[in-house]
Amino acid sequence: MRKTLLALSVMIISSVSFSVSAADSSIQKQLDAQQRAMLEMQNQLDFYNQQIASLRGDIEKLQYDLNKVKEQMANTAAAPSAPAVQNANSSQQQGSSSGSNSAAPQNGNNQASAQNSGFTLEGNLKTADAQAKSAYDNAYKFVTANNLAAAEKEFSAYLQSYPDNSLTPNAWYWLGQVQYKQNKLDEARVSFLNVARFTATPKRPDSLYKLGLISKLKGDKDKAKQFFELVINKYPADTAANLSRQELQNM
């Protein structure tokens, strides 16, 4: 009788132990599945953020092309007609003060050119002359053609020749972009830091955001957080601020 009771007790204990083990195994499987799902979601978020950053670069390209069209239209509208040139020459021959008046439209065109380039002149930056603009446009053609190596070479050469004109911040920005796309993170970091030196350029918010992404990719989350927060505090309405908020939420 005792042997029978002992055997039953062993069977009951074994059954209970098996049930507990099975339950633990089931819970662990659920936890593992949840962790895999969360990892997949994080990977998807990272992918989408990269896509958004890439699309932002495409938008910058379109904006630049639009600004070039506006600049051409402004120059066409500001060009004097043939009779006006003749009248100006006639006035100069008569000894009028038209010589001093003719300087005003020229200054106006320079200001319009600087505004259409997407940059407000600051400090001691000079207005980009025709030669500088031609060199910049030549470098930018490689960006639109997605020839990253050539674009990097040409913008580097541009910055060597024109380190302090109104297109210099833009050149640093595009140099950083093509370096970033080539996964040259250290070089891109230097380029975006150079953009950030110019506080009036509209490229600054996105450059700071890219500096945050680079810091994140290099494993420096504290510095990445500082860059994202700087974008949000300084440029709360900019698209880069929205992207920075998303990055902070995922950190």
Give the pLDDT confidence score for residue 191 in this predicted structure.
96
Compute the chain's Rg from CA coordinates.
Answer: 31
CA-to-CA distance for 23 and 11, rounded, in angstroms?
18
pTM, rounded to two decimals: 0.56
Partners of residue 126 on adjacent β-strands: 165
Place of tokens 């050119």: 113
Annotated domain spans of the chain? 203-251
Give the pLDDT confidence score for residue 11 in this predicted structure.
62
Pair 210, 192: CB distance under 8 Å: yes
Q: What is the pLDDT along the chain (251 residues), one digit of tens a residue?
A: 655 655 556 565 565 555 556 666 777 767 666 666 665 666 656 555 555 555 555 555 555 554 544 454 454 444 443 333 333 333 333 333 333 333 333 333 333 333 333 334 455 789 999 999 999 999 999 999 999 999 999 999 999 999 999 999 999 999 999 999 999 999 999 999 999 999 999 999 999 999 999 999 999 999 999 999 999 999 999 999 999 999 999 88
Pair 228, 247: CB distance under 8 Å: yes
* Helix or strand holding residue 200 (H, E): none
CA-to-CA distance for 250 and 243, rounded, in angstroms?
11
Give the pLDDT confidence score for residue 3 in this predicted structure.
58
Dihedral angle of Cα 225, 229, 232, 234, to the nearest 10 degrees: -130
Pair 202, 166: CB distance under 8 Å: no
Q: Which residues, 6+ apart, have CB-to-CB distance to 134 below 8 Å?
A: none
Pair 194, 160: CB distance under 8 Å: no
Pair 100, 88: CB distance under 8 Å: no
Q: Which residues, 6+ apart, have CB-to-CB distance to 198 below 8 Å?
A: 119, 122, 125, 168, 169, 204
Pair 188, 218: CB distance under 8 Å: no
Q: How many residues does the chain have?
A: 251
Give the pLDDT confidence score for residue 124 in this predicted structure.
72
Tell me, what DSSP letter sits at residue 94? T
Tell me, what DSSP letter sits at residue 251? -
φ, ψ of residue 60 to 5 degrees: the values are: -60, -40
φ, ψ of residue 49 to 5 degrees: the values are: -65, -40
Dihedral angle of Cα 158, 164, 167, 171, to the nearest 10 degrees: 50
